[in-house]
Structure 1
């Protein structure tokens, strides 16, 4: 097949590889992929962080804009031109898209040319696009809902990473095929290793306990409650907090540091910028637990990469009680519904860390087989093939 991919961000330059990169990387081994890149994207810069065996389509004359939402509006004409050029000159079998405005442009053009389109609705875009707005937040959320609804209605099929998102999408397009393919893990990198060996490589002390916060530290993370609980945990255990990642909203990261000071953790937080993907298993394996204290929004009713990567390494996860997790993960994810439960869960894991990791070591092997990106890409390939024949 010949595919045109409209990604959620610049897949080759964004600090953190997302689900579309993992899928595209594997599909590109057997199919021709034309990847739209968002030239001068505000979250990426020009540094090439990864590659894949496909054709990159750059935006000619892209305008540099710091605001993410304005970037797509200011470059709408360039995005339209790039997509139209590929669809007109290449025999594309399917358009695979996972964005807001670029996706709407893509499906309209694809429909006019008789090319089927698959929407990878990887999160609840109305919430994820509006989280950084304080003024006119509801206007942004409503506008994005209208755009994504039109895009869903013009797509031939939809892929979602969770059952919760499938229910949301089905309300908009009840007769469109909707496929559930969860987020997965790169089993080449994410596998169990000795905790002390991982710490030795990273230069971390083997004697204290480590709680890992990784990925995007943003408004969908409840940092206040998270750090308050860790502050209390330090009354019984010598706990350090490893933060590996970044914040799209810089002020939110500053707020995290203010909470750390408030709860007496400023001396016990070790900060690292986004790391090369292949190095993240070291940080996970060096930790006693991975912490995912998300707020209860629709955008978090998913199958997070950080949880899959932790379980693949055999490391327990403490997470907000999101119903979706219980549907996918048989063990290793310890959830809480309120602050009191959070404290109990954290203390229990610290007290039983060795036994828990021993049990998860066994589970990780079956988990890696079930959630391997290689296996999930095969499922995706079947969806694209069946859509191309429609």
Structure 2
């Protein structure tokens, strides 16, 4: 197959690779994969990842704002998409973006939409409690629903998302969850990992972007009741000041020394950081985008053999009802941390759960959906 991928963000320089990076680098071993690459100004200067895919540069402008980038480049994206489709004889387009997906509908080939997030809510979260956020949410909802209904097929990450999409009238929906590269993320002896990073004593850790849909407030507020515990935060702040908010909260509670920000870490080096954690955290605020989806960090923790403690969300509890531990409030979090530090469970069993969600297995299922759509076209 010849596939044009329209990703969610900068393919090479976004500090956190997402599912499309993993899946299509695997599929590129057997198929011709072209990627419409966005040069987002926020990531200028960050190191570029390697990829097996062929990149297609479609931007004409490089404004500072995320929304303005896609708005200003809409005509250029449409021109480049149609040019590549014609020149390379593309069989189908796989898209997961909002405005570029809109113009992709007019490229003359089938579109499969990867709905990996509750887009209207995740787009508006960058403008918290503002009129702009309301406008963005409404606009993204209209565009997303149009793209979903025009798509030949939709792939999403959870059964809860599938049910939501069906209420919108989307009929052809396949669930392919997020996953992990278990060959890259693997257990490192815990004491060695802690020593390498300068930690001693119990460590609870968060991996991921620092944004307002994360609930690190509950975690930091619990630290005074967990006097020997250090919180390690691995990941960048991308578009908001949420990391600064957490730093201020830690200072107010007198636990600054026990909240360690490690910054962005390359995926291939994460094993040494995750293995230093005694517990991996998935703290989420109660909102639709968190209830409906399951991110990859849960599988990253499990792949390194560490137990996972998560706020209770509908989609995750449906996917992993007994394999991880859940909490409902601050006291429940404290109790669960104390319990898991005493009995973290079997590292091999945690690893076995992750192996069920290896990207190579998921990529094969993904390819089956794309082949079905491409064959219908023929």
Give TM-score, length-normalised by structure 2: 0.95
Q: CA deviation at 1:65?
A: 1.6
- Which ranges in structure 1 are unaligned for 5 or more consecutive residues? none
CA shift in 2, pair 1:43/1:169, >3 Å: farther
Query: Which structure 1 residue ranges, 4+ long, deviate > 3 Å from structure 2?
Result: none
Farther-moved stretch of structure 1 (293-302 vs 277-286)? 293-302
The 5-angstrom pairing of residues 1-390 of structure 1 reads 1-39=1-39, 41-45=40-44, 47-60=46-59, 62-109=60-107, 113=108, 115-133=109-127, 134-136=129-131, 137-174=133-170, 176-200=171-195, 202-205=196-199, 207-234=200-227, 238-300=228-290, 301-329=292-320, 331-353=322-344, 356=345, 359-365=346-352, 367-390=353-376
CA distance in 2, matches of 1:140, 1:250: 16
1:203-242 CA-partner distances (Å, limit 9, x unpaired): 323x3111111211110012221200123211xxx21111
CA distance in 1, matches of 2:189, 2:266: 20
CA distance in 1, matches of 2:2, 2:22: 18
- Which ranges in structure 2 are unaligned for 5 or more consecutive residues? none
Give TM-score, length-normalised by structure 1: 0.92
CA distance in 2, matches of 1:332, 1:210: 20
SS in 2 for 1:216: coil
Q: CA deviation at 1:273?
A: 1.7
CA distance in 2, matches of 1:330, 1:132: 31
1:128-151 CA-partner distances (Å, limit 9, x unpaired): 000021322222111100000010
1:304-333 CA-partner distances (Å, limit 9, x unpaired): 111011111111111110122222225442
CA distance in 1, matches of 2:277, 2:53: 36
Q: CA deviation at 1:164?
A: 1.5
CA contact (8 A) 1:28 1:52 kept: no
CA contact (8 A) 2:307 2:350 kept: no
CA RMSD between the two structures = 1.5
CA distance in 2, matches of 1:306, 1:232: 26
